[in-house]
Amino acid sequence: MDLAGDVYTGGVVEALVREVGTDRIMFASDMTWIDPRPQLGCILDADISPEAKAKILGENVVRLFGLQI
């Protein structure tokens, strides 16, 4: 699942984490088309652990694509 675009409903990040887990969510695959700041704020403000935020904001993409960082 990708958290980019125009879904800013309060609680959506927490609901997705509950329903699909943090390993299946990533942030901003369409980052070059939109301003990522509003969606980034939703993630940073979400009531989820710092570890979950780290996965969503980058660790999952690194794992999914086998990137070396």
- For residue 58, the SS3 value is helix
Q: How confident is the model at residue 25 (pLDDT cuts 50, 70, 90)?
A: very high
Q: Which of 19, 13, 1 is nearest to 52 (CA)?
A: 13
- Measure the CA–CA gap between 49 and 57, rounded to whole angstroms: 12
In angstroms, rounded to a whole number, what is the distance separating the alpha carbons of residues 5 and 3? 7
Q: What is the pTM of this model?
A: 0.85
- Which pLDDT tens digit goes with each residue over 48-62? 999 999 999 999 999
CA distances from residue 3 to 47, 62, 68 in whole angstroms, order as listed: 15, 16, 23
